[in-house]
Structure 1
Amino acid sequence: MTEVVTTTPGLFPLPDWTKDELSELKGHQKADLIDGTEGAEIQSVYDRTRGELIERQQAAGLDRVVEGQARWDDMIAHPLAVADAVETRGIVRYYDNNNFYREPVVTDDLAATGDVAAELDSAADRVDSGLQAVLPGPYSLADLATDEHYGDEQAFLGAIAEFLTAELAEFPDVETLFLLEPSLVENPPGDGADQRASEAIDHVAAATDADVVAHTYWGALEEKVYAHLMDADVDAIGFDFVANHEDNIYNINEYGTKSDVALGLVDGQNTLVEDPETIEERIEWVGEQTPSADFETVYATINTETFYLPGNRFEEKLDALGAVGKTEVEA
C-alpha cells in the first residue's frame, strides 16, 4: 500500500484581476515588469494574489501547498533574474513553446538574494502544514543562463548549485522541495556533464531537511542521465507520464528508482480536465507496470508548470487532483 500525496510543481497562471491591476499600475503587461523592484502597490497585488492561490489549493484539498510563483515572470529563471550579479537582457523562448523569459547573464560572483525565501515566509503565514517550496534545479538554471564571469561550464554549474544552497539557507521550514529539472530532458548533459549535473542536484538536496523531489518533465530522461540522477541523494525523482510513459516505465524497471516517486499524471498544458478516478487509475497503472518498485510515497502531480492554462481549467484540475488519494491505493 502506498501513501498518495497530491501536489503541483507550481508556477500558476495569474488570476485575471491580477493581470488587470498590474497592467493598470504599470501601464503595460505583467511580462514587462521588472522583478525585485516593485513598489508598495504592486507588492500588495502580488501578496493578495499569493493569498488567493494558496486558498484555492487549500480549498481543492491538496496535501502540499506551493506559494504559486506569481512574480516569476521569467519562469524558472526567476531566482537568477533578480540577483545583483545578473543582467537580464533579450527575450528568449522558454524551451519549445510560446512562452518567453529574459535571458539572465551572470556577470559577477553570485550571492543569495532572499527573494524566494521572502515569498515563502509570506506563504508560511497562511499555511499551517504541508508547505512546499519550488526552485529550479541547478542544471536547468545553469542551462537557461549565460555565463560571462566564471568562464567554465563546470565552475558555472558549481556556482549555480552554491547559489541555490545559499537561497535554501534562508527558507522557512517546508515539508517538500520540488527541484524543477526540465533541461535534463530538453537539453541532456553529455558524458561527464551528466555526472556533474547529478552531483549538483545532490549538493542542493543536502542543504535542506525537506523531502526533495528532482522533477523532470517534457519527456523522459536518456538512460545514462537517469542512471546518474539515481546517484543523487534525493527522496524522489519526478516523471512526466503525460509526455512519455513508455520510456519512463523503462527507466524505472531497468535502473530502479527511489522509494518515493513523483508522477506527472495531470496535463499542465492541455485544457482537457482529468477526473479523480482517471488520475487514480493512472497511479495504479504505473504500479502495475513497475512490479519491482515498492513505492512508499507517490506524489501525484501535474506534469509541468501550469501558467499555460486558462484560470478556470487550472482550478478544475486542482479540484480533480485534490480529490485523489484521500485513502491508500494500490501502487
Structure 2
Amino acid sequence: MTELVATTPGLLPLPDWAKGELSDLKGHQKSDLIDGTEGEAVTEAYDRVRAEELDWQTEAGLDRVVGGQARWDDNIAHPLSMADAVDTRGIVRYYDNNNFYREPVVVGELTATGDVAAELDATAEALDDGAGDLQAVLPGPYSLADLATDEQYGDEAAFLDAVADFLVDEVEQFPDVATLFLLEPSLVENPPEAGIDERAGAAIDRVATATEADVVCHTYWGAVPEKPYAHLMDADLDAVGFDFVSDHEANLYNITEYGTTDDIALGLVDGQNTRVEGVETVRERVEWVGEQIPAQSFDTTYLTANTELFYLPVNRAREKLAVLARAAAGEEEVTA
C-alpha cells in the first residue's frame, strides 16, 4: 500500500501583519536591498514570518514542511535575483496571472550564492519537535532559465546548462533535507522545443542527482506536452508532480502512455481558488488516480496543492494545508 505524504509546493502567503511591516522596512532600507543585502530589522521580520509559517504547517499536520519562501518577492525567479551576475530590471508578469516579478537579467558568469541553503539552515534551526520533516523548494532549471533573460551565454542550450550548474551548486550547499520539490511550471506554460526538450530533461536530472533527498519535479497549470514529458522521464527523479486540478485527463494520458516514477505527487487542491476542498474529496481524487492506473503501485504518494499557495489569503491557505494533512492521515473532516 502506498504511503500518503502531505506536503506543499511552498511559497506560502505572508501573514497580514508582515505585509505592511516589511513594506515599510524595505522602504527605509532601499540602499541595502539594492546591494542585495537585508538590514537587521528586515531579517528579523522574515525570521518571525518563517517561525509563524512553520507553526501553520505543524498545526495542520503536514508530513513535510518548508521555510515558506517569504523572501521570494520574485516568486520562483528568486534564486537568480540574489546572484551577483544578475541585474533585476523591469516588472514583468509571472506566467498568465496577476502576479509580477522583477526580470532577472544574467550579465556575467553565474555562481551560487548559498541564499536558499541559508534559508534552509534557518528553517532547520526553527523546527520544533513534532514538526514534519524538512523539505527544500527550488525552481527547476528549465523554468528558471525561461523566466530569466540571458545577456551572457548567447545560446539557449548553453544558458540552460549554466542555470542547471548554478542550481547544482546551490543544492550542494543544502543541509540535510528529506525532500526537494523542483517547481517546473514552464514545462507546461512554455514547453521546450525539439532539442531543448532533451536538454531540459538532462538539466533536471543533473539538479536531482546533486542531492541524496527524494526529489519531486512538480509540474502545474496543465500538463506537459508528450515529447518534453518523455524526456522528463529520462531524469533520475523519485516523483513527478501532476496538476490534477487544471487538467486531470491530459496528465492521466501522460502517465498511462509514457509511464511515470515509482513515487507520484498529486496536485489535488487548488492553490489559486479560495474554495476549500473537503477531506473526502481529496481522498476520492487519490483513489480515482489509483483506479485509472491499476498496473502501477506507487511507493509514496505526495498529496499537495497544484500550485504555490501565495495567491491565497492566509486562512484559506491554512485550511487547505489541513485538508491535505487530514486526507493523508485518513481523517474524515477538518475541525474548526
When normalised by structure 1's length, the TM-score is 0.96
Shift of 1:21: 1.1
Output the amino acid matched with 2:8.
T
Preserved contact between residue 35 and residue 82 of structure 1 (Cα < 8 Å): no
Give 2:265's match in structure 1, choosing from 251, 262, 267.
Answer: 262
How far the C-alpha of 1:20 sits from its partner, in A, is 1.8
Give the C-alpha shift of residue 291 in structure 1.
1.6
Query: Given the alignment of the two structures, is residue 326 of structure 1 paired with residue 329 of structure 2, yes or no?
Result: yes
Q: Secondary structure at the match of 1:150?
A: coil
Q: 1:253 aligns with which of 233, 239, 256?
A: 256
Q: Is residue 161 from structure 1 mapped to residue 164 from structure 2 by the alignment?
A: yes
Report the Cα offset of residue 22 of structure 1: 1.1
Query: In the alignment, which residue of structure 2 is the partner of 1:212?
Result: 215
1:7-26 superposed matches below 5 A:
7-26=7-26
Contact kept in structure 2, 1:213 and 1:234, CA below 8 Å: yes
- Change in Cα spacing, 1:155 to 1:37, as seen in structure 2 (3 Å) is same
Aligned residues with identical type, % of pairs? 70
For 1:197, the equivalent position in structure 2 comes to 200
Unaligned runs of 5+ in 1: none
Q: Secondary structure at the match of 1:132?
A: strand
Aligned pairs for 1:49-60 within 5 A:
49-60=49-60
Matches of 1:155 and 1:226 in 2, distance apart?
A: 21
| C-alpha spacing 1:225/1:35, structure 2 compared with 1 (3 Å) | farther
Which sits farther off after the overlay, 258-267 or 125-134? Answer: 125-134
Match in the other structure for 2:74:
74
Please report how far the alpha carbon of residue 126 of structure 1 lies from its aligned counterpart in structure 2 after TM superposition: 2.3
Tell me how far apart the structure 2 counterparts of residues 103 and 182 of structure 1 sit (CA, whole Å). Answer: 17
**Moved runs in structure 1, 4+ residues, more than 4 A?**
none
Deviation at 1:275, TM superposition (A): 1.5
Query: Using a 3 Å threshold, how does the CA distance of structure 1 residues 132 and 178 change in structure 2: closer, same or farther?
Result: same
1:152 corresponds to 2:160: no
1:160 to 1:131, Cα distance in 2 relative to 1, 3 A: same
Looking at structure 2, the residues matched to 87 and 136 of structure 1 have their Cα atoms a distance apart, in angstroms, of 18
> Match of 1:284, as an amino acid?
E
Matched residue type, 2:65: V
* 1:118-147: CA deviation from partner (whole Å, max 9, x where unpaired): 100000112365100000000000000000
Q: Which residue of structure 1 aligns with residue 42 of structure 2?
A: 42
**1:38 partner letter:** E
CA distance, structure 1, for counterparts of residue 69 and residue 34 of structure 2: 15
Q: Structure 2: which amino acid aligns with 1:9?
A: P
Q: Which residue of 1 aligns with 2:188?
A: 185
Please state how far the C-alpha of 1:288 moved relative to its aligned partner. 0.5
Deviations 1:298-319 (A, max 9, x none): 0000000011101111111111
Taking the aligned partners of 1:228 and 1:11, their CA distance within structure 2 comes to 27
Q: CA deviation at 1:327?
A: 5.0
Asked if structure 2 preserves the Cα contact closer than 8 Å seen for 1:50 and 1:70, the reply is yes
Letter in 2 for 1:196: R
1:243 to 236, 246, 268: 246
Amino acid at match of 1:74: D
> How do 1:99-118 residues align onto structure 2 when only pairs under 5 Å count?
99-118=99-118
Three-state SS of the structure 2 residue aligned to 1:325 is helix
Secondary structure in 2 matching 1:237: strand
Distance 2:25 2:211 in 1: 38
Residue 311 (structure 1) aligned with residue 314 (structure 2): yes
In the TM superposition, residue 34 of structure 1 has moved relative to its aligned partner by 5.5
Tell me how many residue pairs correspond in the alignment. 325
Relative to structure 1, the CA distance from residue 86 to residue 123 in structure 2 (aligned partners, 3 Å threshold; closer, same or farther) is: same
- AA partner of residue 302 (structure 1): A
CA positional deviation for 1:48:
0.4
1:154-213: CA deviations, max 9, x gaps? 111000000000001111000000000000000001111110000000000110000000
Per the TM alignment, residue 26 of structure 1 is displaced from its structure 2 partner at its CA by: 3.2
Q: TM-score, normalised by structure 2?
A: 0.94
